[in-house]
Amino acid sequence: MGSRTPEIQHYPVLLEETLAFLEPARDGIVVDCTLGFGGHSLAVLEAFPKAQVVAIDQDKVAIAAARQRLSEFDWRIDIVHSNFSRIKKVLNGKNIDKVHGIIADLGVSSIQVDSETRGFSFRFDAPLDMRMDETADIPTAAELLGSLTETEIANVIYQFGEERKSRRIASRIVHEREAGRPIRTTKQLADLVARVVPRSKQQAIHPATKTFQALRIKVNNELDILEQFLIDGAHMLAENGILAVITFHSLEDRIVKNTFQRLAGKCICPPRIPICVCGAKKTAEIVTRKPIVPTDEELKRNPRSRSAKLRVIRKIEN
């Protein structure tokens, strides 16, 4: 059965919910900014027989797998290797000036974290790479740990991992580096963090989880590009178009929440200024007052969905 589908256990997160919000885009153009293994794109193609999909991913491995998986729909899906921060350029290059739905299911895919060679996970000993786009001319995680200062490393681990022991971890990393033992593999890093952050009895997650998340965010510049991407995405929406974003940690969710509020016209002027000078303008409406989270059933089926949050806006005018 299922010769098209590799044995990877893959559950697209918050799928039914996302599709329901995308209903107004059913006869239009939907952009899947994070194709991954194609779960959300496949569902859109199946549920909306007239929709055209433009799918973006910066990971060529994901693109190859999804291309094969979605081959029967190749006349309705256009797959592009790019960073979604270039969404405007990608669409303009195809002479598309407005779209009706945009999905971004942020973060890493199962294909990436389950890869034994790409360094995203401490479950496999591999070179500490972590680049989602292996063709990009950007430093790997190992290269960053070899070149950043101790303070810079500590700040990355603290800001992007919310790891309280960030300074001690950074100090050990630099100590090892100065002793001629630079951190080059996942195992070296996981062992080092485990020595600094002992696993508590209640703690279900591996002590290196936060440090790995932080490095991945830094390597792929995940947070810096997010706000502008949301603004550009909203800009590309036709009236009544839908932008649906799934996040996996509070740092991302906060950016999405704040940017959506700005797009919905929230004024951020200091309270005592008599007139608004921040340029607040309402171009979208928030559809999800509170973020949508997975049902108990989804959590049971797919524990990886546990921190997922879906937020949606609807474009009202340009």
Query: Which residues lie near ligand SAM (CB under 6 A)?
Result: 12, 34, 36-40, 56-59, 62, 83-85, 105, 107, 109, 132, 225
| Min separation Cβ 279 and Zn ion, Å | 7
98 vs 304 by CB, closer to ligand SAM: 304
Size of the site for Zn ion (CB under 5 A): 5
Residue 38 binds: one of Zn ion, ligand SAM, none (C-beta under 5 to 8 A by kind):
ligand SAM
The piece of 23-31, 166-174, 202-210, 263-271 that touches Zn ion (CB under 5 A) is 263-271
| Min separation Cβ 271 and Zn ion, Å | 10
Instruction: Report 266-285 residues binding Zn ion (CB under 5 A).
Output: 267, 269, 276, 278, 280
Residue 280 binds: one of ligand SAM, Zn ion, none (C-beta under 5 to 8 A by kind):
Zn ion
36 vs 241 by CB, closer to ligand SAM: 36
Residue 267 binds: one of Zn ion, ligand SAM, none (C-beta under 5 to 8 A by kind):
Zn ion
3-state secondary structure the chain: CCCCCCCCCCCCCCHHHHHHHCHHHCCCEEEECCCCCCHHHHHHHHHCCCCEEEEEECCHHHHHHHHHHCHHHCCCEEEEECCHHHHHHHHHCCCCCCEEEEEEECCCCHHHHCCCCCCCCCCCCCECCCCCCCCCCCCCHHHHHHHCCHHHHHHHHHHHHCCCCHHHHHHHHHHHHHCCCCCCEHHHHHHHHHHHCCCCCCCCCCCCHHHHHHHHHHHCCCCCCHHHHHHHHHHHEEEEEEEEEEECCHHHHHHHHHHHHHHECCCCCCCCCCCCCCCCCECEEECCCCCECCCHHHHHHCHHHCCCEEEEEEECCC
31 to 70: interface string for Zn ion, x by CB under 5 A? ----------------------------------------
Residue 249 binds: one of Zn ion, ligand SAM, none (C-beta under 5 to 8 A by kind):
none
124 vs 265 by CB, closer to ligand SAM: 124
**Where along the sequence are the contacts to Zn ion (CB under 5 A)?**
267, 269, 276, 278, 280
